[in-house]
Amino acid sequence: MDLNNPIFKDETKAREHLEGLRWGEGRFCPHCGEAEKTSPVEGKSHRPGLYYCLSCKKTFTVTVGTLFERSKIPLTKWVLAFHLMNASKKGISAHQLHRMLGVTYKTAWFMAHRIREAMGGVNTEPMGGNGEVVEVDETFIGNKPGRKKGARGTGHKHAVLSLVTRNGEARSFHVGNVKAKTLMPILRKNVRKNTQVMTDEAKQYHHLDETFADHQFVTHSAEEYVRDMVHTNTVEGFFSIFKRGMKGVYQHCGEQHLQRYLNEFDFRYSNRKITDAERAALALAQIGGKRLTYRRTDKGQAIN
């Protein structure tokens, strides 16, 4: 990355960069939505980047109605943090952000969660389609509170369901369990009916051919991992990246934060074919309409 890029050093350049991403098709008022009757507020007594809406008679900046609203952290540090998190394949710890940005650890931790909030909910249209293959699998990570570490089975761990389109996007969900009645509503909502779905032999997937165009599976218990084009290697490769990041970089994740971490890894994986700068810009463009207070970071719930 180019650390000499002005958007990482100059507040005006950082603000203009953000304005270009948010208002690329024209400036609008975040209070009332007015897109034509807005104008810059000029004068030495007003800060740069302040605008006035002639419709609702309110002033605004590019950060109003975004994750950055009321933040005292300089925009240059926000833009750099977005770039660092999007350029690091397995993530970057809050301690590393704290050292590189020159902010407190608590601030860096909160910034990272805000950035993950921007990464979530980008793709809402169903995955797959005619001729497309979506691989489905679940994994388990971490340790539930009060459960003994290293216990046999998976009941003491957090369950994650991931859907990965071959050569495409990943979409993951923190789920309360891996029963069919929990997973099927997610699959119906996120995968098109004319899609070919591939899984392992787990019994919760036995009747997918009743919902989707085709369902093929490999029998891992019989040491079958690939049969022609039938396999789940793509989604397992995604899990490999996710777990290396969670265990090697983040090391610990509370259950209430797991979905945000999944959003982060989904976003980077789904946009892996573009440059780091383009990926960071795409994430920055998603900050509108999302607020994350410090109190909200302690809340989270798995899908049951």
Could you read off the pLDDT of 80-136 as tens digits, one per residue?
Answer: 999 999 999 999 999 999 999 999 999 999 999 999 999 998 788 999 999 999 999
For residue 277, pLDDT beyond 80: yes
φ/ψ of 170, rounded to 5, equals -120, 145
Rounded to an integer, the average pLDDT of 58-69 is 94
pLDDT digits (tens, 9 = 90+) for 179-217: 999 999 999 999 999 999 999 999 999 999 999 999 999
For residue 300, pLDDT beyond 60: no
In this prediction, residue 156 carries a pLDDT of 83
Domains and CATH numbers, the chain: 133-271 (3.30.420.10)
Burial per residue of 18-48, b for 16 or more beta-carbon CB atoms within 10 angstroms, e otherwise: bbebbeeeebbbbeeebeeebeeeeeeeeee
For residue 220, pLDDT beyond 80: yes
For residue 301, pLDDT beyond 80: no
φ/ψ of 195, rounded to 5, equals -95, 150
Query: Closest by alpha carbon to 286, among 84, 109, 114?
Result: 114
Q: How far is CA 238 from CA 117, 176, 186, 233, in A?
A: 20, 20, 19, 9
In this prediction, residue 82 carries a pLDDT of 97
Q: Please say whether the dihedral angle defined by the alpha carbons of residues 129, 130, 133 and 135, taken in this order, is positive or negative.
A: positive
Percent of the chain with pLDDT over 90: 82
